[in-house]
A and B are shown apart, each in its own frame.
Chain A
């Protein structure tokens, strides 16, 4: 069902004898005729109380929006990398602590003045590798924290 070819003439009010004869037979055009004057009236009402925004402002806003979106898109891989780093560091800490948990507990228990004096001459039960691992992990954690803070700034 396509548009009646007389519809636009009825809307525009271009009345001719042919159009009048047509409207008498066409339900669509009759309905159009019933509302066309009121629609015209409605269209003539100027309801805008203030001017529209300047196109240059809209253009500028769009550019800013586009830049923000581009920046968000560009920083997305960085954010993913950051999340992976947090998870890796947390997992490394868990692994290191689990690996030497018994030794760490023993060391913590021995951190009283009396036991410290008593065991002063004894060799430490935790290896150099462990302390190196702790040092390395601490450095990475601090680095990550600093990077996060600076990136937020």
Chain B
């Protein structure tokens, strides 16, 4: 009764503290999944899209990620833990997709928004999208996770299946490469400091 009144957050609710002892964690129920999905799906879709460059593939891989997530039905210590799991699964699916199709290079052009209804049609944004697409899938993943998801090196390492210590070097190279591409395209870094 008190737990209901206190309305514990979903992540804590799952741990079901009873009699001073923590009961074993349970897999997500529908309501918990729905809350988690609403919180994660948007950023996960953007991440997959930036990795693959194709909205249809992003839709497909997003569904696969969540179906796999529910099929495995794992237990998580927190929502953050579940989020990491989802990003790792999405990364693996995207990298598998590249291995299978080997059409990465052909898809570079599609990294820019296709529809005329998309608000972004600015030339600069278009160029940044295109240049970002010229990076390798792993470089894209590294940069997106670090800059957009603001993930730490250990989280990035977990998502990409590399040692956390290697992330610093890989990230440095990816940044240098993007900076080079931007510089060649005449899009100088507009540093505000």
Contacts of A63 in B (CB 8 A): 70
Are A48 and B125 in touch, CB under 8 angstroms?
Answer: no
B111: min CB distance to chain A, Å = 9
Are B120 and A45 in touch, CB under 8 angstroms?
Answer: yes
Majority-rule SS of B interface residues: helix
Are B128 and A34 in touch, CB under 8 angstroms?
Answer: no
Contacts of A42 in B (CB 8 A): 50, 125, 128-129, 132, 148
Contacts of A12 in B (CB 8 A): 150
Given contacts A55-B37, A56-B34, contact A1 B191 (CB under 8 A): no
Say yes or no: is A115 at the interface (Cβ < 8 Å to chain B): no
A-B CB pair tally, cutoff 8 Å: 138
Contacts of B148 in A (CB 8 A): 39, 42-43
Q: Give the docked Cα–Cα distance between A47 and B62 (Å).
A: 15
Are A58 and B37 in touch, CB under 8 angstroms?
Answer: yes
Name the segment of A25-33, A92-100, A118-126, A139-147 touching the other chain.
Answer: A25-33
Are A35 and B70 in touch, CB under 8 angstroms?
Answer: no
Contacts of B182 in A (CB 8 A): 34-35, 38
Name the segment of B16-24, B77-85, B100-108, B173-181 touching the other chain.
Answer: B173-181
Are A58 and B66 in touch, CB under 8 angstroms?
Answer: yes
Q: Give the docked Cα–Cα distance between A8 and B175 (Å).
A: 14
B19: min CB distance to chain A, Å = 32
Query: How many chain B residues touch A (Cβ–Cβ < 8 Å)?
Result: 57
Are B150 and A45 in touch, CB under 8 angstroms?
Answer: no
Say yes or no: is A66 at the interface (Cβ < 8 Å to chain B): yes
Q: Give the docked Cα–Cα distance between A61 and B62 (Å).
A: 13
Contacts of A48 in B (CB 8 A): 42, 45-46, 49, 55
- Given A41-B125, A48-B42, A61-B67, 20 more A-B residue pairs with CB atoms under 8 Å apart are A1-B165, A3-B152, A3-B168, A12-B150, A20-B193, A34-B176, A34-B178, A38-B132, A39-B148, A41-B128, A45-B129, A46-B119, A46-B120, A49-B55, A49-B118, A56-B34, A58-B67, A59-B33, A62-B67, A65-B67
